[in-house]
Amino acid sequence: MAADNHIRNPIEWSSDQLRNVNVAIGRTGHAVHGDDRARNAPLPAVRRIDLADLRDVLNRGIEDFGAYRTDVIFICLIYPLAGLVLAQLAFGYDMLPILFPLASGFALIGPVAAVGLYEMSRRREQGREINWSDAFAVLRAPAFGAILVLGIILFLIFALWLGTAYAIYEGTLGPRAPVSLSAFLQDVFTTGAGWSLIVVGCGVGFLFALLVLTISVVSFPMLLDRDVGLFVAMATSVKSVWTNPVPMAAWGLIVTLGLVLGSLPALLGLVFVMPVLGHATWHLYRKLVPAETDAGS
């Protein structure tokens, strides 16, 4: 009995997590397609929401963040990345043309990084006692395979966005790298080519962000909440955006501005912005898609 209750060391804990990942990946086929009942059933109902609901979900996200201090998770992710960016800028200005696309691009992969936060908010909603390490419970989720597939899709979209953004730079201000930060900013804001970069870049970036918002805003939380399969989750996400175009456009703007502003102080603001937005997204899902018990009543 004592052996069952001993405190696991990091090697044992990591081994357990890898075992959970292997089991979940083995169920990827089922997780992506869902069972026959989910495939043949109509899409879940979607509520209409308004802008006041967005204020409510942000407040709930802040409450979850305050309760569990999930910035601890993102310190481990953001600080090394910030160090790499600062080191690169210290040795040259090659990174400048993609610095803004990199910052705004967090909106494209943010849903992947926030999956653990959705799980924590879900458990808190159920009244369970949890701590930030419970974010790793997603590794045991039946739909982890589908979550992994959707995450890969978003990372591919992110990579495509960075490549497209750099191509836009080369077609406007490039192909030479900026000689200094001040010269780069002057070229961006005081030349016709710079304004072309701003207009075209923001326009194309908006299309990338719209695509990711549409396919993922409901998908990740729903895969944790129900055994519906990836295709049903994505279709429900599209339906949610289609049903609520103005509130969802406002939400996309909130997420993008929050991530960009959080990125400005060497990406360090993301330590606080990403957890709040992640928790809030779970509550947005609850606003949009009624719980199965509510839908049946």
pLDDT at 178: 79
> Whole-prediction pTM value?
0.75
Count of other CB atoms within 10 angstroms of residue 144: 24
- Token output for 53: 């609901």
pLDDT at 131: 60
Residues, the chain, total? Answer: 297
Q: φ and ψ at 257, to 5 degrees?
A: -65, -40
Residue 88 and residue 170: Cα distance in Å, rounded? 20
* Burial call 162-188: b when 16+ CB within 10 Å, e when fewer: eebbeebbeebbeeeebeeeeebeebb
Tens-binned pLDDT, residue by residue, of the chain (297 aa): 444 444 444 444 445 544 554 544 455 555 555 555 555 567 788 999 999 999 999 999 988 887 776 555 555 555 555 555 555 554 556 667 877 787 777 778 878 877 888 888 888 887 776 665 555 666 666 777 888 888 899 989 988 998 999 899 988 887 887 777 788 888 888 888 889 999 999 899 889 989 999 999 999 999 888 878 888 899 999 999 999 999 999 998 888 888 777 776 666 677 788 888 888 999 999 999 987 655 544
Is the CB of residue 181 less than 8 Å from the CB of residue 93?
yes
pLDDT at 120: 81
